């Protein structure tokens, strides 16, 4: 469920992202005493597929009534999936329908049930080469953090089962909305930066890994940048925006 592409402007990045100078300065001062910070995306960077997308599809398929509500809305919402700037609307509707009658507190049990339906459990989710790279950074003493648009309870459960539960996670959250759940904080694109800063991971970062051009803002603020299994269009957009060649990692 990837949406959008951030264009560079002449406005300072901290101003665009709502990071106050006091907050950035307070966290930056601590960086002189800390190891290099390495930022990993999650879905399609560490994983083989979009885990949140598959989780919410599973919630819909297991309940014919919910699936019927989504299918009934396709004539209206389907065309909105094509333009990037409207794609979030049908996605939000599908998430709301998938969670009708549920609270945030019910999600952990559903996540565990979902993981049990996977053919190899968490073992089918992660890219081995990606996990090895992450573990190599940890072994080297780097400070690794995962910043993802994935649902926090889903990403946390998958990481925990893969033995990576100790890695700090900054992820998206949901809140109650009209009987279902809706996005609260979305750790996606440029919004990753203030969310990382609020957790004590202020830029600049030593290294950033991602698969998607939506993370342009994160890549801007990293000294080393890696693209994991990217689509050709993603490489073109990022190299044009950053005016530099990207390092491509084929971890498939």
The 10s digit of each residue's pLDDT in 12-52 is 454 555 555 545 544 454 445 789 999 999 999 999 999 99
Kindly state the helix (H) or strand (E) to which residue 57 belongs, with its residue range.
helix 51-61
| Amino acid 3: pLDDT | 40
CA angle 127–182–61, rounded 5-degree value: 60
Q: Give the pLDDT confidence of 139-168 residue by residue, as tens digits.
A: 999 999 999 999 999 999 999 999 999 999
More confident call, 109 vs 12 = 109
What's the number of CA atoms in the CB half-sphere (13 Å) around residue 49? 11
Dist. CA 154–CA 230, nearest whole Å: 23
What is this structure's pTM?
A: 0.84
């Amino acid at each position: 469920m990837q949406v959008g592409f951030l264009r560079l402007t002449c406005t300072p990045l901290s101003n665009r992202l709502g990071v106050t100078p006091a907050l950035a300065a307070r966290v930056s001062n601590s960086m002189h005493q800390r190891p290099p910070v390495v930022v990993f995306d999650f879905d399609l960077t560490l994983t083989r597929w979009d885990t949140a997308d598959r989780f919410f599809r599973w919630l819909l398929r297991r309940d014919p009534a919910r699936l019927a509500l989504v299918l009934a809305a396709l004539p209206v919402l389907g065309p909105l999936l094509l333009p990037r700037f409207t794609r979030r609307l049908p996605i939000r509707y599908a998430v709301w329908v998938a969670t009708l009658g549920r609270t945030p507190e019910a999600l952990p049990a559903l996540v565990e049930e979902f993981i049990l339906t996977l053919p190899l459990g968490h073992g089918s989710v992660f890219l081995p080469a990606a996990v090895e790279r992450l573990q190599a950074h940890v072994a080297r003493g780097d400070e690794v953090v995962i910043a993802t648009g994935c649902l926090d309870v889903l990403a946390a459960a998958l990481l925990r089962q893969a033995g990576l539960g100790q890695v700090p996670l900054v992820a998206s959250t949901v809140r109650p909305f009209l009987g279902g759940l809706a996005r609260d904080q979305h750790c996606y694109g440029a919004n990753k930066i203030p969310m990382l800063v609020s957790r004590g991971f202020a830029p600049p970062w030593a290294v950033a890994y991602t698969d998607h051009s939506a993370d342009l803002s994160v890549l801007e603020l990293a000294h080393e940048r890696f693209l994991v299994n990217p689509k050709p269009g993603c490489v073109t957009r990022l190299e044009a925006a950053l005016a530099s060649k990207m390092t491509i990692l084929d971890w498939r």
